Amino acid sequence: MSVALIRPLVVRTVPVSDPGDLVSCLPDAAPYAWIRHGEGLVGWGEAARAAIPPGPDRFRWARDWVSALFADARIDDDVEAPGSGPVAFGSFTFEADAPGSTLVVPRVVLARRGGRAWLTTIGADRPPVLPASPAAPAPPGRIRYGDGSLTAPEWQHAVARAVRQINDGRLDKVVLARDLTAVAENDIDVRVLLSRLSARYPECYTFSVDGFTGATPELLVRHRGNAIESLVLAGTTPRGEDEADDLARGAALYASSKDRYEHVCAVSSVREALAPLCSALDVPDEPELLVLPNVQHLASRVTGRLSDGASVLDVVAAMHPTAAVGGTPTGVALDVIRELEGMDRAGYAGPVGWIDAGGDGEWGIALRCAQITGNRARLFAGCGIMGDSDPVAELAEAQAKFRVMRYALES
């Protein structure tokens, strides 16, 4: 079902002075956000919303809905940059047949990028004026954690079963996720989480769509004109206890045959997805280390040029799910996930991001995230399982990834 509260959309975008911290400008507790290194977009209110029908054509349905809505809009854009004019924020479930994918066009979007800032408003009665400074949000208070769909020992058992299937030759790699529940003393204001995440993890993409909030290190695709970019992450180690330990862990990760092969699988899946869409594609021969406050990753930045006028959602459709969040081969890995994981991933490891009227946008893979509802949060973390994976070590890696959202909730 889709709802356009204002039809046609009457859109006005104007330059504004630097607003400072974008999160501090958000006036309510149900924001939309996409922020990295203090730049990006935040939004609030609703001009239009679409509940995307589940199924294999969901990305095409979403693209067509956005295209028709924005083609009918009356747009006055004095900025004309990616992310100016009307913007739809979206989140897609990991599984194609699962309900819950959504697109929302906020009534107000405030953006800052490359030394420029702008404000977009929708509605003839809404002149483009920066909002007054809102009251500071209240912290969530004391947090109680509980097991999610599987206990830690049950999840370790699932990892061991996956390892046996890999060594029996059924597949090369599978990503197994687990969830954790959290109950706060007070309702959880997403603005608190966004502020903490964007400050602590500036290298990541801090996002929020309908309470689904996190800071993902993995850029699925950035689309600007015909240029596209993707950051592939696979292979992980926790940070060290001191500088020497940290360097040793990074060196061991880079030299690890298990992690390097996992990374090769992920990069290959991205190359295979993008090659048919691109007239040029640059894939690095070797990964680099991406060092974050909680973990280190093997990372490869893939760039290319599209051969036609595909929108960012067309590229998302071709890429999801990557081997980094599903496995290799993809179809078998998805079957193993359904057999062993014991939970509904919902939006975890699905695409999350934004698209504008020109088809440009940025979409990440929803990692290091949680679904917030009232005073409750459901946290997610996952690990790439290979033939020599150790269930104890994989559990420790998942716990390290949970620290991102635990930090956001507890600080």
CA distance 245 to 342: 35
Of 39, 46, 80, 173, catalytic:
173
Interhelix angle 257-274/312-319, rounded to 10 degrees, is 130
> Which of these, 56, 104, 74, 343, lies nearest to 212 by C-alpha position?
104
Q: How many CA atoms, within 13 angstroms, populate the side-chain half-sphere of residue 296?
A: 19
Distance of alpha carbon 16 from the chain centroid: 28
Fill in the DSSP letter of residue 25: G
Length of the chain (residues): 411
Kindly report the backbone phi and psi dihedral angles of residue 179, in degrees, each rounded to the nearest multiple of 5, phi listed first: -120, 165
CA distance 175 to 36: 26
- Whether the Cβ atoms of residue 364 and residue 352 lie closer than 8 Å to each other: yes
- Whether the Cβ atoms of residue 343 and residue 172 lie closer than 8 Å to each other: no
- Whether the Cβ atoms of residue 367 and residue 218 lie closer than 8 Å to each other: yes
Tokens of 201: 């993890």
Distance of alpha carbon 68 from the chain centroid: 25
Tokens of 270: 């991205």
Tokens of 334: 């998805």
Please confirm, yes or no, whether 218 is among the known catalytic residues: yes
Of 95, 218, 341, 394, catalytic:
218
SS3 271: helix
Tokens of 401: 């990834």
The set of residues, in sequence order, having a beta carbon less than 8 Å from that of 10 and lying 6+ positions away, is: 73, 74, 122, 123, 124
- Which uninterrupted H or E stretch holds 9? none
Please confirm, yes or no, whether 339 is among the known catalytic residues: no
What are the C-alpha distances in Å from 42 to residues 25, 62, 185, 265, 357? 9, 21, 27, 34, 17
CA distance 322 to 263: 11
Residues designated catalytic: 173, 218
